[in-house]
C-alpha cells in the first residue's frame, strides 16, 4: 500500500501574485503619463523662458489690472499699505533682481490658460484609483487634486488680482517640477524601467517643492479675503465686510496647514519605504 504524502511533501500551490493590468489599461496609463509629462514640461519651459526673458517678450506683457493683496499687510495691519505693496518690495530689491520680481507678477499671462487645462486633466487620476488601475491611496490623491483645482478655479480664476501675485509663479513652478519628475517616473515604471535619478528625485524633491507649492496655494487663498478687515470679527460681520464665501475661504486657509502636514508626512513615509535602508514594497 502506497504511503500517503504528508502535507509537507505535497505539491504547494503557486504563490498569489497581483493581477497584472490589462494591456489596454497599461497602454492608456503610459500615454496619460507621457502626455502629462509633456504638458507640465511645456509649462515649466514657458515659465523659465518668461522669468529669464529668453525670448525677449516678457516686457511686452503687462501686469493684470489691480495689484495683488499683500499677505504681509494682513498679518501686520499696522504697516502702511504703501510699504507692503509689490511695487514697494520691488523698489527695495537690488536692481539686478527687480526685473525678475516684475516677471514673477506677469507669468500668469503666459502660462495661466495652459496650467488650468493641464491641471484640470488630473481629475482622471482620482478615477484611475477608483477603478483600481493605480495603487495610490484614494484619500491622499483626492486631497492633492482637489486642493489644486480649488487653487486654479476657486481662487486664481475667480479673483483677477491674484493673477499678478508673485506666489502664483512659485506655486506653478513647484507644481511643474514635481509633475515632470512624477509623471516621467510613472511612465518609465510602466514600461519596465526604474531610472534611479528619477526615483531619487521623486522621493526627495518634495522636501522643498511640496511646502513651496502648498504654502503658495494657501497664501494666494488668504490674499482673496476682504482687505478692509482681514481677520474676522464682530465688527466685520455686523458691517457686512465678510460674505459667507469669505468665511469658507478663511476656514480653508486654516485647515490647509494640517492637510499639508498629512501629505508631507505621508511622502516622508513613502520615501523611507522606497529609499530607506529597510525598504519594503514599492510605493506608487
Catalytic residues: 210, 217
| Distance (Å, whole) CA 242 – CA 82 | 24
Runs of H (alpha helix) within 52-132: 71-75, 86-92, 98-104, 108-120, 123-130
* DSSP 8-state class, residue 156: I
Is-contact 217 144, C-beta < 8 A?
A: no
3-class SS of residue 165? coil
- Percentage helix, strand, coil for the chain under 3-state DSSP, each rounded to 5: 65, 0, 35
| Distance (Å, whole) CA 264 – CA 237 | 35
| Distance (Å, whole) CA 195 – CA 177 | 17
DSSP for 189-209 reads: HHTT---HHHHHHHTTTHHHH
Give CA separation, 109 vs 45, 65, 165, 190, in Å. 15, 12, 12, 35
Length of the chain (residues): 284
The torsion of the CA quartet 223, 228, 233, 236, rounded to 10 degrees, works out to -120
Q: How many CB atoms lie within 10 A of CB 41?
A: 16
Amino acid at each position: 500500500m502506497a504511503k500517503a504524502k504528508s502535507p509537507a511533501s505535497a505539491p504547494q500551490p503557486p504563490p498569489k501574485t497581483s493581477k497584472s493590468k490589462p494591456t489596454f489599461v497599461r497602454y492608456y496609463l503610459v500615454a496619460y503619463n507621457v502626455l502629462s509629462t509633456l504638458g507640465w514640461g511645456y509649462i515649466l519651459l514657458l515659465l523659465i523662458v518668461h522669468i529669464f526673458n529668453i525670448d525677449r517678450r516678457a516686457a511686452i506683457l503687462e501686469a493684470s489690472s489691480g495689484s495683488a493683496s499683500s499677505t504681509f499687510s494682513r498679518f501686520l495691519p499696522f504697516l502702511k499699505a504703501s510699504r507692503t505693496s509689490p511695487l514697494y518690495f520691488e523698489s527695495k530689491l537690488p536692481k539686478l533682481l527687480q526685473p525678475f520680481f516684475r516677471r514673477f507678477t506677469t507669468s500668469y499671462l503666459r502660462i495661466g490658460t495652459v496650467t488650468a487645462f493641464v491641471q484640470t486633466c488630473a481629475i482622471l487620476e482620482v478615477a484611475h484609483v477608483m477603478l483600481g488601475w493605480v495603487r495610490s491611496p484614494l484619500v491622499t490623491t483626492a486631497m492633492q487634486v482637489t486642493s489644486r483645482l480649488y487653487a486654479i478655479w476657486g481662487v486664481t480664476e475667480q479673483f483677477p488680482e491674484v493673477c499678478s501675485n508673485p506666489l502664483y509663479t512659485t506655486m506653478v513652478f513647484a507644481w511643474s517640477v514635481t509633475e515632470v519628475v512624477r509623471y516621467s517616473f510613472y511612465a518609465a515604471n510602466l514600461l519596465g524601467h526604474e531610472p534611479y535619478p528619477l526615483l531619487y528625485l521623486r522621493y526627495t524633491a518634495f522636501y522643498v517643492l511640496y511646502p513651496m507649492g502648498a504654502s503658495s496655494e494657501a497664501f494666494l487663498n488668504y490674499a482673496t479675503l476682504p482687505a478692509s478687515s482681514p481677520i474676522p470679527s464682530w465688527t466685520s460681520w455686523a458691517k457686512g465686510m465678510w460674505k459667507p464665501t469669505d468665511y469658507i475661504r478663511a476656514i480653508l486657509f486654516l485647515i490647509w496647514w494640517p492637510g499639508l502636514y498629512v501629505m508631507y508626512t505621508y511622502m516622508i513615509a513613502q520615501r523611507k519605504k522606497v529609499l530607506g535602508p529597510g525598504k519594503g514594497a514599492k510605493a506608487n
